[in-house]
Every structure is written in C-alpha cells, then in structure tokens.
Amino acid sequence: MTINIITIGDELLIGQVIDTNSAWIGKAANQLGFDLGKIYTVSDTYSAIQDTLGLAIKDSDVVILTGGLGPTKDDISKKAIAEFMDDDLVHSEVSWEHIQAMFKSFGRTPLEMHKEQAKVPSSALLLENKMGTAMGMWLEHADTIIISLPGVPYEMKYIMEHQGFPKLQSRFPNLQRIEHRTLHTVGVGEGQLSEKLEDFEDSLPVGLKLAYLPNVGKVRLRLSKTKASSGDLDLDKWTAKMRTSVEPYVFGEGETSISEALGQYLKEKDLKMGTAESCTGGFISHLITGISGSSAYFEGSVVSYSNEVKIKVLNVKEETLISYGAVSEDVVREMLKGLLNFLSIDVGIAISGVAGPTGGTKDKPVGTVWVAVGNKEKVEVRLLNISKSRQKNIEYSATRALGMLWQFVRTNY
C-alpha cells in the first residue's frame, strides 16, 4: 500500500518554512508498513493542488495533504479538493460546534471567518483536532483515500495519531512493516566507514540494503529489509555483524542521539555532569536537557560568554586569557577545572572557540574550537578545525564534544 504526500503552501516553496510534516508522516507511515511513493510540495493555487492530486492518486492508495485549512483567505485546500471531486462545500454543524468549543476554551468567541471554516465537502468524514480549530478530513475518490490535514505540525500530528493512522490500519489490516536497523556512529567519516564495511556490503544478501546517512559530525548506518525478502533474513544478525566492523564508533542503535547515549551511560554509572560553554553558548546544555529524565545526571551549566564570567565564575586566570587568548588549550583546561570545582559533578565539558563569521584571526580562524572533557584526575583535550557556518560550527563542535565525553566515560568508568 502506497502513500503519496502533498504539502501545500508558497511559504514551503520559497523556503520561508521548512516542511517537517512530510518527514513525520513518512516515518510514521513507513513504520506501519506503508510504502512512501513521492512527496510533492506545491503552491496554494487551485491548479497546482488539483493537478498534483490528479497525479498523486494515480500511483497510490492514500494521498495525504497538509496545509491550507486555516481561517484566512489564502486557505483554499478544502475548496480545491471539493472541486476536484465534483463535490460541494456544505456547512458542518460538527465542525462549527468544534470551532465554538475551541474558542470558548480560550475565553473568546469565533469570528465571522470561522463560519467559512466550518464548511466542508459534503462527502467528508471529519477527523477530530483537539489542538486547533481546523478539523481533518477523510475523503474517498475512486480507489484512493484522501486525507486533508492542517499544516500546523502539532495539529496535523494529533489528527494522524488519534484518527488518521488508526483508521488507515483498520482499512488495511494486512500491512507488512519494512524493517530497518540503524547504527549511530560519531568521530568517523562516511568514506572511512564504507571502507571498513566493504566486505560486509559485498556479503549482504539480496533484499538487504545498507545506506549511509551523514549528518554534522555523525554518520548513521541504516540496514533495511525490503518486502521482497521479508521473513527470510535475520536483520538483527546482520546488524550485529555490521557492528563488529565499526564498533569503536557506534554510540547507539535505533532511535537515539549522542546526548541520549551519553545520558544513558552516565545514569548507569551514577555520574553527574555539567558544561562550561563559551562558543556553543548553551547549545550542548540544550542537547543534554532535550532528553527527558536528564535531571538524573545533569546538574547545570555555566555559559561563560564574556571573559568576566570565565574569570569570576570559572576561576580562569586573567594571565592565561592574556597570554593565550580565550580560544586556547590552557583556557579550556582551566574552564573545566573551574567547572569541576564549582558544581557538584563527576565529569564535565569545557569548550571555547571562534563560531564566526567574525572574530577569526590568521592564527585562530573561524571554526577553531578547543574542547576539554574529563574529571578531576584526567582531562582529554582536542582542537577542532571546522570552518562551516556559525550554526554548523556550533552544532558540529557540540556533537564532537558530546562524543568526546561519551568516549571518556566509556573508557574510564
């Protein structure tokens, strides 16, 4: 069973908004066993929506559209779909009551335009949306199911999780999941991994497929079992085999991140950590606290953006800053030492660098980053040379720093 997705909106085409809806739908649908055919992103005009709908229903069983269900004048999806299906828009009391109830919960009353929003194609089955005023719609056209959803991500997700996917599952009870296994690596490049995995790849049976997915300082290895072969091949066995070739770099399997893998390890070993951040400005701390339950091992951070904070809070010596500059091995060593004394923690990260685009010098160009990780007895220090954009320098050095601390605790505890 194949799903095609159409995301609607000029703001997507001209890059004012990045489409995350289709990735979310694709992931969830894939896990349920649907094939993902194509994703189309189109303008919010009648012709673009209707032409693409015409294309998309040809090679799929389900077409999911997102966007254009709001109350404003540029929201035309409902009309476009109704016209496409030769259906009429009619007032829906269910939708109107829903809109009124939503407004009541905010202590407000609906506006005139929301009466327009309560109109739906006469054949539409409405899908509940507790997150906003625009209900989802389930329609059937020839042999294809059409699901129309609002573009606001958490509204779209609510509808699919509570009604869209459950209804699809009961309609297609014989779905066979495509299975994936993913290994996450850090501190190694795609080419090097591929070299280490050459024999493994050559030995892979038909029906298994390996993909390399590089992303800012990390590479994921995804092994997939396609439907043609399902039942015959032991994906876990092949994943374990793959792992032996790249073990020192693998920080996790499945859905994980370097901050989650680090957190799990710290929790197991009952260790507490903190960070002293200059160039990353709190981003490492954000990555760590993005994980639910991180309070078990994360005490806190000092974002020492100014030299004054480095000196006053982290006890970095003024002479060190003057002699070597804030971006130096000596300063990150002192920052780490100060942090370990300042907070009640076992291990920590200290980082200082030139995030750019300004602030670089000949000796210390943009992307020069010093990282120290360790405890009171032992410290590992590394110099990174990154030279990407400011955001990428921050992301990349944060990832590498987390990878270094993960290596450190794995080796020393």
Query: Between residue 192 and residue 211, which ones bind its own copies under the rule CB under 8 A?
Result: 194-195, 201, 209-211
- The residue from 1, 26, 46, 207 that contacts its own copies (CB under 8 A) is 26
Asked whether position 71 contacts its own copies by CB under 8 A, the answer is yes
Q: How far is the CB of 68 from its own copies (least distance, A)?
A: 11
Answer yes or no: are the C-beta atoms of 299 and 272 closer than 8 Å: yes
Q: Which of 105, 170, 244, 292 binds its own copies (CB under 8 A)?
A: 292
Check residue 412 for interaction with its own copies (CB under 8 A). Answer: no
Of 340, 391, 401, nearest to 371 by C-alpha is: 401
In this complex, which beta carbon is closest to its own copies, that of residue 97 or of residue 198?
Answer: 198
Q: Which of the stretches 77-85, 244-252, 370-378, 389-397 binds its own copies when contact is defined by CB under 8 A? A: 389-397
Positions of E strands within 32-164 = 35-42, 62-66, 89-91, 119-121, 125-127, 136-141, 144-149
Segment lying near its own copies (by CB under 8 A), choices 70-78, 87-95, 168-176, 236-244: 70-78
Q: Report d(CA 402, CA 225) in Å as an integer.
A: 31
| Residue entry with tokens 């092949």 | 238
* Residue 96 engages its own copies in binding (rule: CB under 8 A): no
As a whole number of angstroms, the distance between CA 272 and CA 413 comes to 12
**List 94, 171, 357, 383, residue binding its own copies (CB under 8 A):** 357
Q: Which of positions 124-163 make contact with its own copies (CB under 8 A)?
A: 133, 152, 154
- Separation between Cα atoms, residue 244 and residue 237, nearest integer Å: 11
Question: Per rule CB under 8 A, is residue 252 in the interface with its own copies?
Answer: no
Residue-wise over 139-151: b if at least 16 C-beta within 10 A, else e?
Answer: bebeebbbbbbbb
The two beta strands, 218-225 and 179-186, are: antiparallel
Selected binder of its own copies within 79, 243, 286, 317 (CB under 8 A): 286
What φ, ψ does residue 281 adopt, rounded to 5°? 55, 30
Closest CA to 413 of 268, 220, 238: 268
Q: Is 48 in the site for its own copies (CB under 8 A)?
A: yes
CB 70 within 8 A of CB 150: yes
- Decide if residue 367 touches its own copies (CB under 8 A): no
Q: Between 87 and 299, whose beta carbon lies closer to its own copies?
A: 299
Tell whether residue 1 is a contact of its own copies (CB under 8 A).
no
Rule CB under 8 A: is residue 220 a binding residue for its own copies?
Answer: yes
Backbone angles phi, psi at 234, to 5 degrees: -90, 100
Size, binding site for its own copies by CB under 8 A = 99
CB of 88 to its own copies, least distance (A): 25
Work out which of 36, 125, 271, 321 binds its own copies, going by CB under 8 A.
36
DSSP code per residue over 350-377: EEEE--SSS---SSS-TTEEEEEEE-SS
How far is 315 from 307, CA to CA, in rounded Å? 10
- Residues between 221 and 240 that touch its own copies (CB under 8 A): 222, 224
Decide if residue 50 touches its own copies (CB under 8 A).
Answer: no
Distances (CA, A) of 220 to 26, 188, 215, 243: 18, 11, 8, 12
Euclidean distance between CA atoms 382 and 300, whole angstroms: 23
User: Between 47 and 122, whose beta carbon lies closer to its own copies?
Assistant: 47
Residues 261-280 that bind its own copies (CB under 8 A): 275, 277, 280
CA atoms within 13 A on the CB side of 186: 22
The amino acid present at 116, given as its one-letter code, is E
Considering only 207, 282, 360, 365, the residue that binds its own copies (CB under 8 A) is: 282
Binds its own copies by CB under 8 A, chosen from 203, 306, 361, 385: 306
Complex with its own copies: residue 140 or 195, whichever CB lies closer:
195
